[in-house]
C-alpha cells in the first residue's frame, strides 16, 4: 500500500507505562490469539509436522528448493508464517494451523486455557472472545459440542488464571443461509452462557442482509448481536453494511467500521444511530492498519469519541501480525491523541462489556480511573 507509515515504537517508557494499565478486550478471535509458542509446543507434543502451504496468497505455486524447506521446524518460522497472512499466504492456510488444533474436546479446552494465560500476560482481567463453531467439526464434533467445550475451556482458563472470558459465536458469512440458521440454533442452546453472535470473515459478496433469517432468531432473546461491518469493501459498500447492521440486523456492536467517521450513508446519520442506540464500536486499529488503511489516524477515532461514539480498542487477532497485542494499538493511539484518549477507550470497554454486572463494572472503573 503506498504512503503507508511504519508503526514505530520509539518511547519504551510510554509503552511500559501502558502495559501497567488493565485492559478489557471485547473483540478477539480465539484462533488468531493463541500464542505461537503454544501452537508450536502442541504440534511437538502431538508429533505433528507443520508445513508451509504449496500455494501463496494469490493461489500461485510457491517454489521450494526441497520438501524439507516447507517444514515449520521452529517457533520463529511459525511466527513468520503467521505474519505472512494475506501478504504472502492465503487466509485459510494461515488460520488452518490454529484451527487444526481445535478439533477435539481436549484441544479446544487446551487452546482456550492457553488464551486465558495469554490474556493474563496482557493485564486483561476480563475479555470477550469469539470463535466460529463451524470451523471445528472436522473430527466429528457437533456444533453444540464445540460450543460446550469452548465454554468448558474458558471456565478452566479462569480457574487457572483468574481471567474471566465470555464467549461470542461467530458465523463465517460465506456459509449459506441454512447453515447460519443451524449455527444460531446451536448458540441458542447456550443462550445463558454465550454472550452473543457475530458475522465475520469475508465481507465482500456476503452483505449483512444475507443472514437476516439467522440473525432474526436472536431478536427478543438476551443474546447480543455484533457484526464485522465496514472493514473490507469499498467505502460505499462499507457504509451500507454498517447501516444494514444497525437497522435490519439490530446490532448492539459493530466491528471495524473503518469509514464511520464519514458519518452519513445516503443521508442517514450512522454516528447518531450508534450513539442513540448505545451501539459499541469494536475498533481494531492495528488489524486495519495491516490490511486496509495507511495509518491508524485514518480511522479518526478521536473525532468519533468526541461525538459520543462508544469507541473501544481491540486486538482482533494478536498472534497474526507484528505489534498484535492490544497495548500496541493503545500506544500508537496514545501517541496521536494523548493518555486521556487511552483512558477513555479503556473505560468504554468496561462500560460496554456485555458480560459484566453493574457492580463489577463499577469496581473495574475505579481501578482504571
Ligand atoms: Zn475480527
Q: What is the pLDDT of residues 321-333, one digit of tens each?
A: 999 999 999 999 9
Rg (CA), the chain: 20
| pLDDT above 80 (res 118) | yes
Residues 6+ apart with CB under 8 A from 254: 226, 227, 229, 230, 242, 245, 246, 260, 274, 279, 280, 281, 282
The arithmetic mean of pLDDT across residues 4-24, rounded, is 95
Q: Which CATH class is domain 12-34+101-368?
A: alpha beta
Q: What share of the chain is helix, strand, coil (3-state, %, to 5)?
A: 50, 15, 35
Q: How far is the CA of 316 from the centre of ligand 1 (A)?
A: 5
Structure confidence by residue, pLDDT tens digits, 15-36: 999 999 999 999 999 999 999 9
Measured in Å, residue 61 CA sits from the centre of ligand 1 at 28
Q: How distant, in Å, are the alpha carbons of 118, 162, 289 from that of 310?
A: 26, 27, 21
Expressed in angstroms and rounded, the spacing between residue 314 Cα and the centre of ligand 1 is: 9
The 10s digit of each residue's pLDDT in 215-265 is 999 999 999 999 999 999 999 999 999 999 999 999 999 999 999 999 999
Distance from residue 212's CA to the centre of ligand 1 (Å): 20
Mean per-residue pLDDT, 137-163: 98
- State the pTM of this model: 0.96
Non-local (6+) Cβ contacts of 279 within 8 A are 246, 251, 252, 253, 254, 273, 310
- 132 C-alpha vs ligand 1 centroid, how far in Å? 11
- pLDDT at position 369: 67
Q: How confident is the model at residue 2 (pLDDT cuts 50, 70, 90)?
A: low
Q: Considering Cα of 43, then 159, then 345, then 262, what sign does the dihedral take?
A: positive
Q: pLDDT at residue 300 above 80?
A: yes
pLDDT at 1 over 90: no
Distance 64 CA to ligand 1 centre (A): 32
The rounded Å distance from CA 27 to ligand 1 centre is 6
Region 158-165 average pLDDT: 98
CA 339 to chain centre: 24
Which 3 state secondary structure label does DSSP give 318? helix
For residue 323, give Cα distances in angstroms to 23, 61, 97, 159, 286: 16, 29, 20, 28, 8
What's residue 284's pLDDT? 98
CA of 15 to the centre of ligand 1 (A): 24
Q: How far is the CA of 281 from the centre of ligand 1 (A)?
A: 12
Distance from the CA of 185 to the center of ligand 1, in angstroms?
Answer: 22
Mean pLDDT within 80-99:
92
**pLDDT average, residue stretch 348-359:** 98
Ligand 1 centroid to Cα of residue 75, in Å, is 24
Q: 136 CA distance to ligand 1 centroid (A)?
A: 18
Calculate mean pLDDT across residues 175-193: 97
Q: For residue 30, how far is its CA from the centre of ligand 1 (angstroms)? A: 10
Average pLDDT of the residues of the chain: 96
Where are the chain's structural domains?
12-34+101-368, 41-91
Kindly give the distance from the C-alpha atom of residue 287 to the centroid of ligand 1, in angstroms, as a whole number. Answer: 8
Amino acid at each position: 500500500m503506498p504512503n503507508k507509515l511504519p508503526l514505530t515504537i520509539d518511547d519504551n517508557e510510554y509503552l511500559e507505562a501502558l502495559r501497567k494499565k488493565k485492559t478489557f478486550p471485547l473483540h478477539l478471535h480465539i484462533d488468531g490469539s493463541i500464542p505461537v509458542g503454544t501452537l508450536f509446543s502442541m504440534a511437538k507434543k502431538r508429533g505433528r509436522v507443520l508445513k508451509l502451504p504449496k500455494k501463496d496468497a494469490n493461489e500461485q505455486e510457491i517454489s521450494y528448493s526441497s520438501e524439507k524447506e516447507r517444514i515449520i521446524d521452529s517457533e520463529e518460522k511459525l511466527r513468520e508464517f503467521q505474519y505472512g497472512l494475506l501478504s504472502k499466504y492465503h487466509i485459510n492456510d494461515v488460520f488452518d494451523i490454529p484451527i487444526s488444533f481445535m478439533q477435539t474436546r481436549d484441544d479446544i479446552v487446551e487452546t482456550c486455557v492457553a488464551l486465558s494465560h495469554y490474556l493474563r500476560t496482557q493485564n486483561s482481567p476480563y475479555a470477550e472472545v469469539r470463535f466460529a463453531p463451524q470451523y471445528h467439526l472436522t473430527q466429528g464434533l457437533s456444533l453444540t459440542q464445540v460450543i460446550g467445550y469452548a465454554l468448558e475451556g474458558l471456565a478452566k482458563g479462569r480457574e487457572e488464571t483468574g481471567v474471566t472470558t465470555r464467549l461470542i459465536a461467530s458465523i463465517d458469512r460465506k456459509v449459506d443461509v441454512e447453515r447460519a440458521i443451524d449455527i444460531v440454533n446451536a448458540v441458542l442452546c447456550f443462550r445463558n452462557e454465550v454472550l452473543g453472535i457475530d458475522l465475520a470473515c469475508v465481507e465482500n459478496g456476503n452483505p449483512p442482509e444475507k443472514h437476516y433469517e439467522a440473525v432474526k432468531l436472536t431478536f427478543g432473546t438476551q443474546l447480543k448481536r455484533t457484526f464485522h461491518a465496514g472493514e473490507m469493501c469499498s467505502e460505499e459498500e462499507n457504509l451500507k453494511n454498517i447501516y444494514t447492521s444497525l437497522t435490519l440486523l439490530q446490532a448492539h456492536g459493530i466491528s471495524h467500521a473503518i469509514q464511520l467517521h464519514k458519518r452519513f450513508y445516503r443521508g442517514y446519520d450512522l454516528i447518531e444511530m450508534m450513539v442513540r442506540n448505545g451501539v459499541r464500536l469494536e475498533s481494531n486499529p492495528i488489524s486495519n492498519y495491516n490490511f486496509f488503511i495507511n495509518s491508524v489516524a485514518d480511522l479518526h477515532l478521536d473525532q468519533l469519541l468526541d461525538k459520543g461514539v462508544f469507541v473501544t480498542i481491540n486486538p482482533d487477532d494478536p498472534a497474526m501480525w507484528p505489534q498484535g497485542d492490544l497495548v500496541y494499538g493503545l500506544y500508537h493511539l496514545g501517541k496521536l491523541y494523548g493518555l486521556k484518549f487511552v483512558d477513555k477507550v479503556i473505560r468504554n470497554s468496561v462500560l460496554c462489556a456485555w458480560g459484566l454486572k453493574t457492580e463489577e463494572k463499577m469496581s473495574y472503573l475505579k481501578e482504571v480511573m
